[in-house]
Amino acid sequence: MSDKNDTQTATDAMTRNGLDSKNHGGIDTAWEFLNRHRDTKTAEDADAVGTNALRRKIDWHIVPLMFACYLMQFLDKVILNYAAVMGLRQDLDLQGNDFSNIATFLFVGLLCFEVVNVYFLQVVPAAKWLGLNVTSWGVATACGAAAHNYQTLLVTRVFLGMFEATIGPSLILISSQWYTKSEQAPRFSFWYTGLGIGQILGGAISYGFQHIAPGQASLEGWRIMFVTLGCVIVTIGLSTALFIPDTPMQAGWLSDADKVALLKHVSINQTGIQSRRFRPKEILEALCDPQLYLMLLSVVLLSVSSGVVTTYSATLIANLGYDSKHAALMNMPSGAVSIFFTLLVGFGVRKQSHRWAWIIGCLIPAIIGGALMSFLPVTNRNGILAGLYLVNTVVAPLAIFYNWTAANFGGATKRAFAAAIVSGSFSLGNIIGPQTFQSRDAPDFRPAKLAVMGTQAGCAATTFALFLYYTWQNKRRGSRTERSESDFLSPEAWSTMTDSENKQFRYIY
């Protein structure tokens, strides 16, 4: 049967079942693949495919590259943190708030490009778009080594932000293609541990490059660090474009039986695999959806602390009396805290759900950490260090917000738009975070430390409000009709409806 006939059959079936393909965006391409294999030996073989073995195969093929992309995204940001104590300020003659502005404008570029990114995420295959942008961002990172003053470094950081804009949203969309909602949580957490590992590697890399003595090389240590990291990022970008399939249906390392089994398995998500139709109507629906604004506010509040940790943690440690080399090393335990809590939350959600409770559970130690940083005297080095490490528990909740975005927004355009907004919210928080550090507040920077504590308390409140909203919505929709094993072959199960249009959709919390 031809693709054209498949689509017409789907449209006819939707009409018979009371679904309007024009209003609901048509049929997901996954259904067309499933329909081609209806009543064939492939469909019979799919019943014998083991879910655990299939899941492991997928994990080994796509999660490592997703992890590498996110690791490089964070490492790229944190090396500016370390470059600040490696002589960058002096070499570029940065004055006053110049360094805070440089840190901020990466996220300005990222935030501005998110708007354009929504369209490309819909019409260009996510894996190819991700690979192209990662490669371009690697080139921009290496170009940072050529900066000779404030303005030139600022320009390179804006371009970095533009190319990095697609990383988070692309990873969200790719993850949603391969896993059920409960399976997504630990996978999000695994690739999100790249943030914590980036903190550890950043300290070690900085420590190593600081041993390049002046005159020993033609470039300063921080410049060589930028070039080296840029080359690694380009390699990862090319690998991503080549080795991550655009959809499960295009995975050469899966048999047709594996693909049918996988699509049947993830059909319970009711969020689809791929639809190339861009529907502006879904963006309008998203803009009227309260969950989007609650999530946006939560991520902004959460990310203020992230901006502080990413950009100024090495500076705060150096202000406690450590030299630049030891400041880099003393920041490494922050990464261990991030990794531990990220994995704990990911596997905890998989076993017990209650995402909202896990978020609040991580925010409590972050609030305590902010209080230790804010109110202990500067002579209490150990207490302030403990506070700085505890603040890193804020890393884990963002992985849950990414998971919520993939799971609770139905409709291809709406989900792409929501992914961009959540990623943009993270950028907005990271714009605000560094700006809480004003030169007039040095060396204590108490207003910035108080901002860390206050924003985490605010995030806990908005997260609880999001939980209440989801429970209210599910209660309004009543109990969901149980689906039979054959439902995955029905066209209405794969119609690209939004979560609001699909009355069988239920929110996870």
pLDDT of residue 233: 92
**Structural domains in the chain (count):** 1
Strand ranges (DSSP E) for 113-159? none
User: Residue with structure tokens 């995030």?
Assistant: 459
Per the CB < 8 A criterion, the answer to whether 258 and 56 are in contact is no
Between CA 176 and CA 77 the distance in angstroms is 26
Domain assignment of residue 3, yes or no: no
Domain assignment of residue 22, yes or no: no
Question: Cα dist. 508→68, 99, 403, 478 in Å?
Answer: 28, 41, 10, 14
Please provide the DSSP assignment of 44-99 as one string: HHHTT--HHHHHHHHHHHHHHHHHHHHHHHHHHHHHHHHHTTTTHHHHTT--TTHH
Neighbours of 378 (CB within 10 A): 11
User: Residue with structure tokens 């498949």?
Assistant: 6
Domain assignment of residue 75, yes or no: yes
CATH number at 59 reads 1.20.1250.20
Between CA 197 and CA 333 the distance in angstroms is 10
pLDDT of residue 36: 83
Domain assignment of residue 100, yes or no: yes
The model's pTM: 0.74
pLDDT of residue 236: 94
Q: Give the chain's end-to-end CA distance (angstroms, integer).
A: 41
Cβ-Cβ contacts under 8 Å for 25 (sequence gap 6 or more): 275, 277, 279, 282, 411, 412, 413, 495, 496, 497
Between CA 389 and CA 44 the distance in angstroms is 53
SS3 340: helix
Cβ-Cβ contacts under 8 Å for 28 (sequence gap 6 or more): 272, 273, 274, 275, 412, 494, 495, 496
Neighbours of 143 (CB within 10 A): 18
Residue range of the domain that includes 406: 30-494
Domain assignment of residue 247, yes or no: yes
Domain assignment of residue 508, yes or no: no
pLDDT of residue 139: 93
Category of 321 on φ-ψ map: left (φ > 0), alpha (ψ -120 to 50) or beta = left
Q: Averaged in consecutive runs of 10 residues, what is the pLDDT profile of the chain (509 residues)?
A: 41 41 57 79 82 90 90 79 77 82 80 80 84 92 88 89 86 85 83 79 73 64 86 94 90 90 81 72 90 93 75 72 74 83 84 84 88 80 86 85 85 83 81 71 71 84 93 83 55 69 82
Domain assignment of residue 19, yes or no: no
pLDDT of residue 439: 66
299 is written with which tokens? 């991520």
pLDDT of residue 495: 60
Domain assignment of residue 199, yes or no: yes
pLDDT of residue 231: 93
